[in-house]
Every structure is written in C-alpha cells, then in structure tokens.
Amino acid sequence: MLFTEKDVCYEEVRPPEDLFVNEPVELTDATIHERLSRTYDAMAERGLDILVIYADREHYGNFKFLSGFSPRFEEALLVLHKDKKNYFMLGNEMMGMEAHSRIQAEAIHTSYFSLPNQPMEKEPFQKLLEKAQIVKGSVIGVAGWKLFTSTAEDNEQLFDVPFYIVQSLKELAGEKGRVVNAADILIHPGSGVRIRVNANEIAYFEYGAMLVSSRILDAMNRVDAGMTEMEIADGLEALGQPITVQTICAGEDRFRNAVVQPRNKSIELGDTISITLGMCGGLTARKAVMARDKEDLRETDKAYLDRMVKPYFAAAATWYSSVHVGMRAGDLYDSIESCIPKKIYGWKLNPGHYIGEEEWLSSPVYPDSDVILASGTMLQMDILISRRGMKGVNAEDGIALADKALREELKEQYPKVWERIQRRREYMIQELRIPLHEDVLPLSDLAGYLRPYILNHSKAMKLVH
C-alpha cells in the first residue's frame, strides 16, 4: 500500500504505552543446538572443512550467536570443523569462559588476543592455529562481520579480520588449500544462518527492543528547551545492558570538533533534537524539533511539517503496511522510492535491514533484490531523508515477521511477549491508522509513533483514514 503526504495528518494522538517489564528471556539449549546444526549444514553446502569466526569488542555477533558470549575487551576465534570438533582461541582474561560456553569447544590459550603488554607466550601464532587442527590442504572460511558486495573486487578475497590471522591461515592452507571470506554463511540476506529466528529468539530479542523503546519514550517525555544533551542522555543507559551503537543525544551543530557523543551543550527552542539507543534486539531512533508547535520554529523552518515530516511519515506508513512474509524485498525498496524519490529526499542507505545481536546484520532491501522475506526475519524500519535547508526527521524501530505457525508457537510459549506484541499492533492500527499484515509483529513500543514537535505530548502523525 502506497501512501503520500496527502494521506497524513498531524492530530491528537494517544501516546503509546510503555510496556517494559524486566523479564528477559534466555536462549534455550534447543535454540543453540539448532544454530550450530544449521551452521554445520551451511559449511557442508559451501564445501568448507573449517569455519573460523573472528570476534572483538565491536564485532562479536557471529561469535556470540554460537558460543553465547562475547570476548568483551579482547579478541577471539571460534574454529568450527566439519567433523564437529571445535576450538576456542581465547586471550588471557577470557579463558575461563570455556566452562560457560553454550557449545562444546576446547579452549586454546592465545595471548596474542590479549590487551597490549600483557604476558604473551613465545609460541608463534601459527603454531596455536595448528593446535586448533587447522592443517595444510584445508578449505577454510573466515567470518568477520562484513559481507562484501563489491562489483569491482573478488569478494571472497576481501577480509575484515587482522592481517596476521589471515596471513597465518593462508600459509597453513598452502597451495592445495584455500582461504575465503565466508561471512555469507551467517548473514547473507537470502540464506544466512542468522537471518531467520524461532519463537525463543523473538522473545529473547523483544526484551532489548522493548527496553530501548521504553528509554527513548522516557527521554522524549523528559526533554525541555534549555536542557543539555548530557542531561537528556543521562536516562538512556539502561540496567547495565551493552549498547550496539553510539548513543545519540544531539541538538544543533552536531559533530563540532568531531565529538559524536552527547555534549554539555543545551538544546534550545527551535533546535533539532536527535535521540538514538541500540541494544541487543533493537534500536529506536527519533529526530524532531525542540518545539511545542509551528510557532516555536524559526522562520526558515516553518515548512518543516509539510516538506519533511508528512512525506517521511507517508514513507514509514508505506513500509509498515507493505512488508509481509513472502514479499520480494526489491518491491519494498521500489515502494519507498515511489513514495519519496531518492533524488528529492536525499536518502542513501537501504530503507530497511536485518537486526539481531547487532544493529545491522545485512540488508535484503536494495534495488532489484530477489530476496524473499521469510517467516522469522527481524527487520528495522530505517529510512533517513535529507533536504537542503530543512531540519531532519527520523522514527526507526524494529519488527519481526511470523507466519501462522510461528505466531502460534510464540503465543503458546511466550504469552506475555505475545500480549505486548498484540497491544503494539492494536495501537498502530487503531490509533495511528497504519494497516498491518497479520504476520507483522512490532517489537518496539514506539513503532510508527512520530512526534515532530517533541514538546507537544498530545499530538503526533497519523494517517487520515
């Protein structure tokens, strides 16, 4: 369904409920076993003898997907063999995690992965790889975190892990072996092992999405003209949970002196305000203006609602109402292009992507994409527009897609999660008038909610009919 700015109005809207409850869901042993089994199957299909999965502080999603833990401030490798004999290569301060891993793997002490100037053994790094049974003639897949899609390079030979690791692996593989980038096994938009989730995983990820949206809603309701970015951001950190992106709380003149974090700088009436928080399972972002109504805007910004907000909300409503199980992702891209042409509205990123442990796994939403959106995929409504001389607007949140069987499983196994999802659906359909396919499951309390004048708590954008 395609909407335009003529279908959008700014009216009295009941604010969304804050549904957060501190009841995180743990991943089951069955889920971990299923993940590992599907990874072995994917290795076999790709013809790999070994899959080496790299992790560091920022890029740990693939590693944690199987092991259940991240290497925190160190680096690590998980070495999977087709015969199911597996190894961890862990630094000085992570060796103890072998006992807590969700899968069976032998730990090899690898102090090369420790912090600078910590004790380091004299044994060459390549010898440690040999202890992980990486032998000559092997076909070795390397998974960092990036799926390269260049049309000018051999993507199998682009690696996003440290040089010394790749070099040692190639020397071990020798002329009869081969080392390739195999991140696609995990995050390819059409076939990646991590792209589809089960009911347990939806419930697990919903906790993070719910927590993030709760904190963003609280921030939106606390803000007032004259508060500093730091004062507003102070309430965004939540229960000590790790963040997946740089927390944003910014006003005008963003990035001055290359500072990206919240500053001790006030956001005044009429300024732009951007707030973003991401955790495992979801990211919520809002960009609006610090105003109660049009009269609080500077003269040059008076057309903000008509020229920016209404087209943006029309595109967001088009996205939410169009997406469904079985949809060709290229058609979703085309819908956004038809609604808000890129040449006019200046968007550059794919308007939607997969979410999970990270904020962005990969994206099926690109021109001419033949990827079919499957049941069990989790997607971010991520549209960013820009017009010269106009203030920005943004309202990002995540959903899951689930066919009837998966919905029944979720309802039966996690009734509280199911009830929250249904309340979010009802809000979007009844209050915001955004029609949804029955297989769209909002994970964020704020999905679809856009308050362009952030100080006016009683009004928001909605569809006319």
Asked if residue 249 lies in contact with residue 229, where contact means CB atoms within 8 angstroms, the answer is: yes
Asked if residue 54 lies in contact with residue 186, where contact means CB atoms within 8 angstroms, the answer is: no
- CATH classification for the domain delimited by 5-25+194-463, as one of 3.30.360.10, 3.40.50.2300, 3.30.200.20, 3.90.230.10: 3.90.230.10
**pLDDT band at 120; cut points 50, 70, 90:** confident
Question: Model confidence over 295-317: pLDDT tens digits?
Answer: 999 999 999 999 999 999 999 99
* 3-state SS record for the chain: CCCCHHHEEEEECCCCCCCCCCCCCCCCHHHHHHHHHHHHHHHHHHCCCEEEEEECCCCCHHHHHHHCCCCCCCCEEEEEECCCCCEEEECCCCHHHHHHCCCCCEEEECHHHCCCCCCCCCCCHHHHHHHCCCCCCCEEEEECCCCCCCCCCCHHHCCCCCHHHHHHHHHHHCCCCEEEECCHHHHCCCCCCCCECCHHHHHHHHHHHHHHHHHHHHHHHHCCCCCEHHHHHCCCCCCCCCECCCCEEECCCCCHHHCCCCCCCECCCCCEEEEEEEECCEEEEEEEECCCCHHHCCHHHCCHHHHHHHHHHHHHHHHHHHCCCCCEHHHHHHHHHHHCCHHHHCCCCCCCEECCCCCCCCCCCCCCCCCECCCCEEEEECCCCCCCCCCCCEEEEEEEECCHHHHHHHHHHCHHHHHHHHHHHHHHHHHCCCCCCCCEEECCCCCCCCCCECCCCCEEEEECC
pLDDT of residue 324: 98
How confident is the model over 349-353, as a mean pLDDT? 96
Asked if residue 158 lies in contact with residue 197, where contact means CB atoms within 8 angstroms, the answer is: no
How confident is the model over 429-441, as a mean pLDDT? 98
Counting residues of the chain whose pLDDT is more than 70, the rounded percentage is 100
Report the alpha-carbon distance of residue 302 to residue 363 in Å, rounded: 35
Average pLDDT over all residues of the chain? 96
**What are 310's two structure tokens?**
């209404």
**pLDDT band at 400; cut points 50, 70, 90:** very high
Does residue 121 carry a pLDDT above 80? no
- CATH classification for the domain delimited by 49-181, as one of 1.10.3470, 1.10.1760, 3.40.50, 3.40.350: 3.40.350
Does residue 186 carry a pLDDT above 80? yes
Question: Model confidence over 270-298: pLDDT tens digits?
Answer: 999 999 999 999 999 999 999 999 999 99
**pLDDT band at 56; cut points 50, 70, 90:** very high
Q: Are strands 50-55 and 139-143 parallel, antiparallel or unpaired?
A: parallel
**pLDDT band at 392; cut points 50, 70, 90:** very high
How confident is the model over 342-368, as a mean pLDDT? 96
**Closest to 220 measured CA to CA, from 233, 206, 208:** 233
**Closest to 8 measured CA to CA, from 217, 387, 318, 396:** 318
Single-letter code of the amino acid located at 95: M
pLDDT of residue 257: 86
**pLDDT band at 1; cut points 50, 70, 90:** confident
How confident is the model over 179-204, as a mean pLDDT? 98
Domain ranges of the chain: 5-25+194-463, 49-181
